């Protein structure tokens, strides 16, 4: 470890332990130079590194200060007589801590929800934007209003036809990414006080939406191999007036689970029986490693009860914020929610991405992206098997870029998250994927970034941090890759709450 | 009137009267040719006109059908023994009817909420987009996340400094237009069941937000000259735990009213006394006709209680969907709402508009736009005075592009809206700006479109429609322009509900 890194880690530990509070001014470069007997450059580089990690902030003509938020109030390895660490940060704070850390390029993004932006055809995209921009007329701002740009909706409709789930143009509504689509669907079919069914573990945005809109949630367990438990879902539908089910059918976040074709068909039939809408989140569906795209549940929907939400954010154009929903019988209700929420989706973005979808070489890009992600996941697995305790369990998903790791029961993933962050590593603690601290010994790792020595180091550091949280006896090599890793067991099957 | 226009109006009247129902197939061109003894071209042109107005829709290889929605179930001039018209369409439906009509370029857009897209520098904007697009790096998708692109926030911060209300970069959050900003602010400071204060009449989106998020509203009267009634507001603050006030301080929609500097200062002081946040909607503030920009209430805010929301949609780039909020002490709470609602605002749009704001000539464009809108409003006033009954009252606002007309008490603006739509004219009935049918004899006219003969005809048609709704005696010339028009009287001061 370089000298400036050592200094940065020393300061990071002080901050993490709460011994330097948020908002405190750090010693001047001159002071540290004298105090540690080191060069000014070393101090500058240490401060720069801490700034990159989001731990400190510069204020012009004033100096460096400890940043608000990120790790404030988290104690690293608290002594036994101090108050215990887990409860000090709320789940909600950790969600934003994970999201905020994404903004700092200095942090190893194992906790990010996005693949690396290096994997996308930025030049072709920007060229498509310019080409479409030149043909935008004054009335586009009106014509691109919900349901959205017709050229774009035609391109999207073509994709549905190809995957065997044809949609009419009228049923496709363009949104600001999939998250807006999901939220609009929820608002379209519920009112405050209603009950909805969500997954456990689930994409944390579902938990946030339930809370913000004053809904009540029934949590349906997700098996990391076979996905949503339809038996439990049916009990819930029988017992409660469930207004909607929000679920991810392919490469679920965080588990990576997918429903089989048969199970999707059964899910749609079950919901039709209860006339309950499905809000289907399928943002990872295009990122399959097998021979063909797994169909969405929407492909089996004959009654227009499924609202199929997806986007280009994880497969083509991160940051462009373009998504859509094929909303079936709810198309008009969702369109009205869109008008009330953000009026419209940006016209130049709609036109630019329509142009790309038609002429940009999307299929070729997707083929390359799938191969890359599959390879990156393999590399990550090798690193995990070399550096993490053998007691760790996970199931390799058939697509996407997440690994959902079960750590030994005595590990607190929130503590691991906080400690890792002080080392410039972002991992997502399982806790944020449910309401009841259910996955306290799980972490989600992102394999969406090209492998680098820094990432290899990060996995090693994670291994060391886990060692300090575990008894030494437990640490040994993982079973060799030829031996199949066990799927996660019943610990992932919480009761409905 | 041309022959095809006559035919179109005949059919439109049949549709409006409910004698041809939504979804009905219209007679074939051949049938009408025989029936009326007219040429095929005349029939085709009539159908094309009706399609433009959104009254009918073509289905491929099948023919023309009466469209769903727009005017279904509205009866024009019902006979006295039929059920009365007003209750047949809900306010909520009329809001969407007004919005939908905007999408049809054939409809005279007097009811639109947007100025003409012809008034904006589309070429310069698209050039700025291309220029910024070329410099977008892979990490922009991460760096542009909330609070948003730093270059853009710097440009916006400069504007605040210029108007005497300096804001730090951290307090500025980029959003998908002002509407998203307003909704996020509301979500940041309320939970379902809370009470908020809104204006009466108010921008209808406030009513929609209150309903969707399960809030309760106290309506504070707005005087078309002096704006929000602070006396009534103070009573409300004393009587209820009001969690936020949502108000428009400059060129209010729909009245055009502005608060004076003194009144803005008093409003901010009043809210500080009750520690109640102000969600300030200032989307028309830049469109002043006087010598200088009226300040926002935010300029008098020393406690960070004001969340100042605005956008570029009405002043520069319609359809780009770029807005922001300077959220004071709520900056972090609003940023979290943004992450949960739509994650981020489109990166290429943020970068492109930052480029335009810095180099595109925004001030020059604004000067020209203000002159144009002022002139268009004058022209509209002349047309109104020549063609509408003299009993109509309004107050000319000092900026923006809306005229808020009080019609004689016996006129039902919902009926006028429906009748006008069958003539291809969209006007906004006052009813949609409150919860309790309070402005049933008001309409809002949009002066944001360049004057055309079609618009002149539309005003004349409105005059004729009003004539049919009024006794003949009432119809005479308006007072000459030299004589000041009266401000709207106490009828605009409803009680709190």
- List, for residues B443-464, the tens digit of each pLDDT value: 999 999 999 999 999 999 999 9
Q: State the pLDDT confidence band at A234, using cuts at 50, 70 and 90.
A: very high
Q: What is the pLDDT of residues B217-272, one digit of tens each?
A: 999 999 999 999 999 999 999 999 999 999 999 999 999 999 999 999 999 999 99
Among A423, A465, A429, A416, smallest CA distance to A54 is for A423
More confident position, B116 or A8: B116
Q: What is the pLDDT of residue A124?
A: 96
Average pLDDT, chain A: 86
Q: Which two tokens stand for residue B299?
A: 């300029």
Contact residues, chain A, for B190 at CB < 8 Å: none
Among A210, A211, A209, A206, smallest CA distance to A228 is for A206
d(C-alpha B185, C-alpha B196), whole Å: 12
Contact residues, chain B, for A120 at CB < 8 Å: 138
Q: What is the pLDDT of residue A62?
A: 75
Angle A13-A15-A17 from CA coordinates, rounded to 5°: 65
- Which residue intervals of B75-226 are DSSP H helices? 91-102, 122-135, 140-143, 150-162, 177-189, 204-212
Mean pLDDT in residue range A89-110: 79
Flag whether pLDDT at B3 surpasses 90.
no
d(C-alpha B414, C-alpha B86), whole Å: 6
Let me know: does A412 contact A487? Beta carbons within 8 Å: no
Please name the residue that has the structure tokens 């004076």. Answer: B260
Q: What is the pLDDT of residues B330-372, one digit of tens each?
A: 999 999 999 999 999 999 999 999 999 999 999 999 999 999 9
Flag whether pLDDT at B318 surpasses 60.
yes
Q: What is the pLDDT of residue B264?
A: 98
Among A295, A315, A312, smallest CA distance to A365 is for A315
Flag whether pLDDT at A213 surpasses 80.
yes
Mean pLDDT in residue range A101-117: 86
Let me know: does B64 contact B57? Beta carbons within 8 Å: yes
Q: State the pLDDT confidence band at B65, using cuts at 50, 70 and 90.
A: confident
Q: Which two tokens stand for residue B29?
A: 């061109």
Q: Does A147 sit behind a cis peptide bond, omega within 30 degrees of 0 on the bond before it?
A: yes
Q: State the pLDDT confidence band at A340, using cuts at 50, 70 and 90.
A: very high
Q: What is the pLDDT of residue B481?
A: 36
3-class DSSP state of B218: strand
Among A93, A68, A94, A89, smallest CA distance to A15 is for A68
3-class DSSP state of B56: strand
Span of A19-33, A306-320, A469-483, B150-164 with lowest mean pLDDT: A469-483
| End-to-end Cα distance, chain A | 47
Q: What is the pLDDT of residues A294-304, one digit of tens each?
A: 999 999 999 99
Q: Positive or negative, the Cα torsion across A426, A429, A434, A436?
A: negative
d(C-alpha B306, C-alpha B330), whole Å: 9
Q: What is the pLDDT of residue A60?
A: 63
Partner-chain contact A179 B342, CB within 8 Å: yes
Q: Which of B138, B212, B348 is facing A187, going by the closest CB pair? A: B212
Mean pLDDT in residue range B8-24: 73
**How close A34 comes to chain B (CA, Å)?**
34
d(C-alpha A309, C-alpha A255), whole Å: 19
Span of A34-48, A275-289, A367-381, B298-312 with lowest mean pLDDT: A34-48
Flag whether pLDDT at A485 surpasses 50.
no
Phi then psi for residue B457, to 5 deg, are: -60, -40
Flag whether pLDDT at B483 surpasses 50.
no
Q: What is the pLDDT of residue A73?
A: 25
Flag whether pLDDT at A42 surpasses 60.
yes
d(C-alpha A344, C-alpha A232), whole Å: 38
Contact residues, chain B, for A117 at CB < 8 Å: 138-142
Flag whether pLDDT at B496 surpasses 60.
no
More confident position, B65 or A472: B65
Q: What is the pLDDT of residue B304?
A: 98
Mean pLDDT in residue range B205-220: 94
Please name the residue that has the structure tokens 């055309």. Answer: B452
Flag whether pLDDT at A377 surpasses 70.
yes
Residues contacting B380, CB < 8 A, separation 6+: B403, B445, B447, B451, B459
Partner-chain contact B176 A342, CB within 8 Å: yes
Partner-chain contact A103 B140, CB within 8 Å: no
Q: What is the pLDDT of residue A495?
A: 32
Let me know: does B285 contact B253? Beta carbons within 8 Å: no
Q: State the pLDDT confidence band at B37, using cuts at 50, 70 and 90.
A: confident
Q: What is the pLDDT of residue B479?
A: 39
Q: What is the pLDDT of residue A2?
A: 73
Angle B35-B38-B43 from CA coordinates, rounded to 5°: 90
d(C-alpha A188, C-alpha A210), whole Å: 13
C-alpha distances out from residue B32 to A407, B19, B423, Å: 76, 17, 21
Q: What is the pLDDT of residue B470?
A: 86
Flag whether pLDDT at A72 surpasses 50.
no
Flag whether pLDDT at A459 surpasses 90.
yes
Flag whether pLDDT at A478 surpasses 70.
no
Mean pLDDT in residue range A274-282: 98
Q: What percent of chain B has pLDDT over 90?
A: 69
Flag whether pLDDT at A92 surpasses 90.
no
More confident position, B469 or B379: B379
Helices A261-274 and A230-239, axial angle in degrees (round to 10): 0
Q: What is the pLDDT of residue B70?
A: 38
Helix H or strand E segment including B174: strand B172-175
Helix H or strand E segment including B311: strand B306-311
Contact residues, chain A, for B142 at CB < 8 Å: 102-103, 105, 114, 117, 319
Q: 3-state SS of chain A?
A: CCHHHHHHHHHHHHHHCCCCCCCCECCCHHHHHHHHCCCHHHHHHHHHHHHHCCCEEEECCCEEEECCCCCCCCCCCCCCCCCCCHHHCCHHHHHHHHHHHHCCCCCECCCCCCCCHHHCCHHHHHHHHHHHHHHCCCCHHHHCCCCCCHHHHHHHHHHHHHCCCCCCHHHEEEECHHHHHHHHHHHHHCCCCCEEEEEECCCHHHHHHHHHCCCEEEEEEEECCCEECHHHHHHHHHHCCEEEEEEECCCCCCCCCCCCHHHHHHHHHHHHHHCCCEEEECCCCCCECCCCCCCCHHHHCCCCCEEEEEECCCCCCCCCCCEEEECHHHHHHHHHHHHHHCCCCCHHHHHHHHHHHHHCCHHHHHHHHHHHHHHHHHHHHHHHHHHCCCCCECCCCCECCEEEEECCCCCCHHHHHHHHHHCCECCEEHHHHCCCCCCCCEEEEECCCCCCHHHHHHHHHHHHHHHHHCCHHHCCCCCCCCCCCCCCCHHHCCCCC
d(C-alpha B362, C-alpha A368), whole Å: 42
Mean pLDDT in residue range A459-483: 67
Residues contacting A85, CB < 8 A, separation 6+: A74, A75, A76, A78, A412, A414, A415, A418
Q: Which of B129, B144, B205 is facing A340, going by the closest CB pair? A: B205
Q: What is the pLDDT of residue B93?
A: 80
Partner-chain contact A348 B344, CB within 8 Å: no
Interface test mutation site (partner B, options A148, A342, A450, max chain B beta carbons within 10 A):
A342
**How close B141 comes to chain A (CA, Å)?**
4
Q: State the pLDDT confidence band at A428, using cuts at 50, 70 and 90.
A: very high
Q: State the pLDDT confidence band at A13, using cuts at 50, 70 and 90.
A: low
Query: Which residue does chain A place closest to B190, by CA atoms?
Result: A212
Flag whether pLDDT at A483 surpasses 60.
no
d(C-alpha B137, C-alpha A318), whole Å: 12
Q: Which two tokens stand for residue B453?
A: 């003969």
Q: What is the pLDDT of residue B18?
A: 65
Q: Which of A117, A176, A213 is facing B141, going by the closest CB pair? A: A117
d(C-alpha B10, C-alpha A491), whole Å: 70
Which residues make beta-bridge pairs with A278? A245, A306
Span of A15-24, A437-446, B356-365 with lowest mean pLDDT: A15-24
Mean pLDDT in residue range B163-177: 97
Partner-chain contact A214 B192, CB within 8 Å: yes
Partner-chain contact B137 A129, CB within 8 Å: no
d(C-alpha A270, C-alpha A303), whole Å: 12
Instruction: Rank A9-13, A39-43, A419-423 by mean pLDDT and report only the highest.
Output: A419-423
Partner-chain contact B102 A145, CB within 8 Å: yes
d(C-alpha A29, C-alpha A312), whole Å: 45
* pTM for the whole structure: 0.80
Span of A93-102, B49-58, B388-397, B472-481 with lowest mean pLDDT: B472-481
Q: State the pLDDT confidence band at A102, using cuts at 50, 70 and 90.
A: confident
3-class DSSP state of B59: strand
Q: Which two tokens stand for residue A149?
A: 């740009």
Q: Which two tokens stand for residue A346?
A: 């940006």
Contact residues, chain A, for B140 at CB < 8 Å: 117, 319
Partner-chain contact A142 B117, CB within 8 Å: yes
Among A116, A138, A154, A117, smallest CA distance to A353 is for A154
Q: What is the pLDDT of residue B13?
A: 67
Cα B145–chain centre separation: 29
């Amino acid at each position: 470890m370089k000298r400036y890194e050592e200094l940065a880690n020393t300061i990071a530990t002080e901050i993490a332990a709460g011994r330097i509070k948020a908002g405190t001014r750090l010693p001047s470069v001159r002071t540290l130079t004298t105090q540690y007997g080191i060069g000014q450059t070393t101090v500058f580089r240490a401060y720069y590194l801490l700034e990159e990690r989001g731990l400190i902030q510069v204020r012009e003509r004033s100096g460096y200060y400890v940043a608000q938020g990120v790790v404030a109030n988290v104690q690293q390895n608290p002594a036994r007589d101090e108050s215990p660490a887990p409860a000090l940060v709320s789940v909600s704070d950790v969600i934003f801590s994970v999201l905020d850390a994404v903004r700092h390029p200095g942090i190893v993004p194992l906790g990010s929800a996005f693949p690396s932006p290096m994997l996308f055809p930025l030049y072709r995209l920007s060229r498509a934007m310019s080409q479409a921009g030149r043909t935008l007329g004054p009335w586009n701002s009106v014509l691109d209003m919900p349901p959205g740009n017709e050229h774009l909706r035609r391109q999207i409709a073509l994709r549905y036809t190809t995957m065997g789930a044809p949609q009419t143009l009228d049923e496709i509504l363009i949104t600001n990414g999939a998250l807006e689509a999901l939220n609009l669907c929820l608002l379209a079919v519920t009112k405050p006080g209603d009950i909805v069914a969500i997954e456990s573990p689930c994409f944390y945005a579902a938990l946030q939406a339930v809370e913000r809109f004053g809904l009540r949630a029934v949590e349906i367990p997700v098996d990391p191999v076979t996905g949503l438990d339809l038996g439990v879902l049916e009990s819930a539908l029988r017992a409660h007036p469930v207004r909607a089910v929000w679920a991810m059918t392919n490469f679920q976040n965080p588990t990576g689970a997918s429903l089989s074709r048969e199970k999707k068909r059964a899910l749609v039939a079950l919901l039709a029986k209860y006339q309950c809408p499905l809000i289907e989140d399928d943002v990872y569906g295009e990122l399959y490693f097998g021979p063909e795209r797994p169909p969405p549940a929407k492909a089996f929907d004959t009654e227009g009860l499924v609202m199929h939400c997806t986007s280009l954010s994880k497969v083509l154009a991160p940051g462009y914020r373009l998504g859509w929903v094929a909303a079936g019988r709810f198309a008009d209700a969702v369109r009205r929610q869109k008008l009330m929420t953000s009026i419209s989706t940006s016209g130049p973005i709609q036109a630019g991405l329509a142009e790309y979808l038609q002429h940009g070489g999307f299929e070729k890009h997707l083929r390359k992206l799938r191969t890359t992600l599959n390879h990156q996941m393999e590399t990550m697995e090798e690193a995990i098997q070399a550096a993490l305790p053998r007691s760790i369990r996970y199931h390799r998903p058939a697509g996407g870029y997440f690994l959902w790791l079960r750590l030994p029961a005595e590990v607190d993933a929130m503590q691991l998250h906080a400690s890792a962050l002080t080392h410039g590593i972002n991992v997502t603690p399982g806790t944020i994927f449910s309401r009841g601290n259910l996955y306290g010994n799980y972490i989600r790792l992102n394999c969406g970034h090209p492998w680098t020595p820094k990432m290899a180091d990060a996995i090693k550091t994670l291994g060391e941090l886990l060692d300090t949280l575990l008894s030494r006896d437990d640490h040994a090599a993982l079973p060799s890759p030829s031996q199949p890793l066990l799927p996660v067991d019943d610990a992932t099957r919480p009761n409905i709450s």
